[in-house]
């Protein structure tokens, strides 16, 4: 009697088939319901079944990522990512430069789902040798942000950028100009640009804010400057007029009295006419250009003996240090400098040996005052005299 054929049980999820090579292919239902082949084949049927079980479990939990969804070229995805950010023109320019020079050469022709933690580690090690820590940290932060959006778009399961501290910039502390050096720079750069130096230092104004400062922004009666706009200049030479660097950049700055005479003279001698005229313009009356001013600034630095790496932007360090030394509250310091976070403000507050000496002297003076007050109180009977406790008898001593 012939044996009955064993009936093959039909699979409830996916399908497995044996290939001519002898290996097994697992297929699972994709997002559109059609069967999709697993990215690899398996030596045994049992291994293929384990894969399908994992896919089924992930899909039921909502954790499943379709491998084919991540088959998008990194370069195209990254460019679209930048287009959709809506960031400031200078930030967009920075992103595109980092993408072009540091990310595209390594990941541009790869699929998003092919960017692995191992590849990121190798890329970062190579960038550290080629460009240094600061540029590498900026590039890493951009890569991490792009890949995090890919996670949110269900293109990859997890962000491959997981190196602790890789996005932190530990740049050297910027040089700080003394008050004497600030005035020396103001003299060396010439009368037309003198006020720019003074406002950069003692009003903590950014160069792009100065470039778009208007007559109507200055109130000589109250000695205030209203920062409303900024005009950063891109590497292409284009001036982009818009809001300041951050929301906190829109602010009112009260000027120290010694600078007001320079403000009046500059408005009378050099600023454009009309209430909406630019305060700082070139010698022919055109809007301020970075290339023209950079040459003046470089010569002034050389004349004063400032280091080559000293930037106009570094003048803000002087002003912010002076403001902090007054004992002002952190919030007041942040408003004056146009910072939206305490961390940003602290970057511009330097603790030099001179500041530490002032701190020690202040502590010394305060302690001395309090000790003097106590001594005076003691002399008039205010301070209670403390008498030593009676001595306990010495054990074993002979009685007299």
Neighbours of 216 (CB within 10 A): 13
Please indicate, yes or no, if residue 363 is contained in any of the structural domains: no
Q: What is the mean pLDDT of the chain?
A: 82
- The closest of 211, 213, 91, 70 to 151, measured between CA atoms, is 70
Please indicate, yes or no, if residue 326 is contained in any of the structural domains: yes
Name the helix (H) or strand (E) containing 17. strand 15-18
pLDDT of residue 347: 52
Please indicate, yes or no, if residue 239 is contained in any of the structural domains: yes
Convert the pLDDT of each residue in 269-290 to its tens digit. 999 999 899 999 988 888 888 7
Q: Domain boundary residue among 135, 152, 169? A: 152
pLDDT of residue 6: 52
pLDDT of residue 162: 93
Q: Within this chain, do residues 59 and 79 fall inside the same structural domain, yes or no?
A: no
Please indicate, yes or no, if residue 161 is contained in any of the structural domains: no
Q: pLDDT band at 204, cuts 50/70/90?
A: confident
Q: Within this chain, do residues 277 and 331 fall inside the same structural domain, yes or no?
A: yes
Please indicate, yes or no, if residue 21 is contained in any of the structural domains: yes
- Position 394 pLDDT exceeds 50: no
In angstroms, how far is the first alpha carbon of the chain from the final one? 130
Q: Within this chain, do residues 218 and 242 fall inside the same structural domain, yes or no?
A: yes
Please indicate, yes or no, if residue 191 is contained in any of the structural domains: yes
CATH number of the domain at 249, please. 1.10.443.10
- Position 86 pLDDT exceeds 80: yes
Q: Within this chain, do residues 121 and 253 fall inside the same structural domain, yes or no?
A: no
Residue 104's SS3 state is: helix
Q: Within this chain, do residues 99 and 21 fall inside the same structural domain, yes or no?
A: no
pLDDT of residue 107: 96
Range ranked top by mean pLDDT from 63-72, 169-178, 200-209, 263-272: 263-272
pLDDT of residue 172: 64
- Position 380 pLDDT exceeds 70: no
- Position 196 pLDDT exceeds 90: yes
Q: Within this chain, do residues 53 and 81 fall inside the same structural domain, yes or no?
A: no
Convert the pLDDT of each residue in 48-77 to its tens digit. 888 888 878 877 776 666 666 667 899 999
Q: Phi/psi at 279 (nearest 5 deg)? A: -75, -40
Q: Within this chain, do residues 200 and 108 fall inside the same structural domain, yes or no?
A: no
Per-residue burial over 77-95, b if 16 or more Cβ lie within 10 Å, else e, is: bbbebbeeeeebebebbbb
- Position 392 pLDDT exceeds 80: no
pLDDT of residue 343: 57
Please indicate, yes or no, if residue 228 is contained in any of the structural domains: yes
d(Cα 16, Cα 28) in Å, to the nearest integer? 9
CATH number of the domain at 60, please. 3.30.160
pLDDT of residue 400: 40
Q: Please list the residues that pair with 191 across neighbouring strands.
A: none
- Position 181 pLDDT exceeds 90: yes
Q: Within this chain, do residues 93 and 231 fall inside the same structural domain, yes or no?
A: no
d(Cα 17, Cα 35) in Å, to the nearest integer? 12
Whole-prediction pTM: 0.64
pLDDT of residue 377: 64
Q: Within this chain, do residues 191 and 96 fall inside the same structural domain, yes or no?
A: no
Contact 312, 227 (CB under 8 A): no
pLDDT of residue 383: 42
- Kindly state the percentage of the chain with pLDDT values over 90: 39
Lowest mean pLDDT among 2-11, 96-105, 180-189: 2-11
Lowest mean pLDDT among 62-76, 98-112, 150-164, 284-298: 62-76
Task: Tell me the mean pLDDT in the region 378-386.
Answer: 46
d(Cα 210, Cα 229) in Å, to the nearest integer? 9
d(Cα 111, Cα 65) in Å, to the nearest integer? 15
Task: Tell me the mean pLDDT in the region 91-105.
Answer: 95
The number of folded domains in the chain is 3
Structural domain that includes position 116: 74-152
Please indicate, yes or no, if residue 218 is contained in any of the structural domains: yes
Lowest mean pLDDT among 134-138, 165-169, 254-258, 340-344: 340-344
pLDDT of residue 129: 93
Between 11 and 74, the more confident residue is 74
Q: pLDDT band at 87, cuts 50/70/90?
A: confident
pLDDT of residue 249: 75
Q: Phi/psi at 227 (nearest 5 deg)? A: -90, 115
Q: pLDDT band at 174, cuts 50/70/90?
A: confident
pLDDT of residue 30: 74
Q: pLDDT band at 175, cuts 50/70/90?
A: confident
Q: Within this chain, do residues 143 and 186 fall inside the same structural domain, yes or no?
A: no
Q: pLDDT band at 399, cuts 50/70/90?
A: very low
């Amino acid at each position: 009697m012939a044996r009955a054929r064993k009936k093959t049980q039909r699979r409830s999820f996916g399908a497995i088939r044996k290939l001519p090579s002898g290996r097994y292919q697992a297929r699972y239902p994709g997002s559109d319901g059609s069967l999709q082949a697993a990215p690899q084949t398996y030596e045994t049927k049992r291994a293929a079944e384990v894969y399908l079980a994992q896919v089924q479990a992930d899909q039921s939990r909502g954790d499943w990522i379709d491998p084919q969804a991540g088959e998008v070229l990194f370069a195209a995805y990254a460019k679209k990512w930048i287009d959709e950010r809506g960031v400031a023109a200078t930030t967009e320019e920075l992103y595109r430069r980092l993408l072009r020079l540091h990310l595209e050469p390594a990941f541009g022709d790869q699929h998003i789902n092919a960017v692995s933690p191992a590849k990121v580690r190798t890329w970062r090690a190579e960038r550290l040798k080629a460009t240094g820590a600061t540029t590498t940290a900026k590039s890493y932060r951009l890569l991490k942000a792009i890949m995090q959006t890919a996670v949110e778009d269900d293109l990859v399961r997890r962000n491959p950028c997981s190196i602790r501290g890789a996005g932190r910039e530990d740049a050297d502390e910027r040089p700080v100009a003394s008050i004497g050096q600030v005035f020396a720079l103001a003299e060396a750069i010439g009368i037309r640009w003198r006020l720019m130096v003074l406002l950069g230092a003692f009003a903590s104004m950014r160069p792009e804010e100065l470039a778009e400062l208007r007559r109507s922004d200055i109130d000589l009666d109250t000695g205030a400057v209203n920062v409303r706009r900024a005009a950063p200049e891109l590497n292409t030479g284009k001036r982009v007029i818009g809001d300041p660097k951050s929301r906190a950049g829109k602010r009112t700055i009260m000027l120290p009295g010694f600078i007001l005479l320079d403000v009046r003279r500059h408005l009378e001698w050099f600023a454009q006419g009309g209430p909406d005229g630019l305060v700082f313009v070139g010698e022919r009356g055109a809007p301020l250009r970075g290339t023209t001013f950079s040459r003046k600034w470089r010569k002034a630095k050389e004349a004063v003996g400032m280091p080559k790496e000293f930037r106009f932007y570094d003048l803000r360090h002087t002003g912010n240090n002076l403001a902090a030394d007054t004992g002002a509250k952190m919030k007041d310091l942040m408003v004056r400098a146009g910072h939206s976070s305490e961390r940003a403000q602290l970057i511009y507050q330097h603790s030099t040996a001179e500041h530490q000496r002032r701190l020690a002297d202040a502590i010394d003076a305060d302690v001395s005052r309090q000790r003097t007050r106590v001594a005076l109180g003691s002399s008039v009977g205010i301070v209670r005299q403390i008498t030593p406790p009676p001595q306990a008898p010495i054990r074993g001593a002979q009685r007299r």
